[in-house]
Amino acid sequence: MLAINISTPKSIMQDLKDKFKQKRLSLNLTQEGLSNKSAVSLGSIKRFESSGEISFESLLKVAFVLDCLDDFQNIANKKDEQYDSMDDLLKVKPMKKRGAIK
């Protein structure tokens, strides 16, 4: 049977806040301790853990303290495509580049 996983931004946000809280607790950090180490306000930490809402910059700061910043490096990486045959691979047209990365 094929399992279908439908994720929404809200469900991902809820899952992420729960995982970050568990990571904080596993490191024996209080919310205040995490706030001090990350330079993110205590209010932002509390809001994140209760609602999942946080600025992206603050999320990265918290991730750094919780030693999971590297996970964000792979967010936008394209998954490797799989082909059934060499003919399928050769049929794929290369994507045009829109500009150089600086």
* Both structure tokens of 59: 């999320």
Residue whose tokens read 């930490």: 45
Judging by beta carbons within 10 Å of its beta carbon (0-12, 13-18, 19+), is residue 42 exposed, middle or buried? middle
| pLDDT tens by residue, the chain, 102 residues | 556 667 898 999 999 999 999 999 999 999 999 999 999 999 999 999 999 999 999 999 999 999 999 888 877 776 666 667 777 766 766 666 666 555
The C-alpha atoms of residue 12 and residue 59 are separated, in whole angstroms, by 14
pTM above 0.85, yes or no: no
CATH 1.10.3470 holds for 9-70:
no
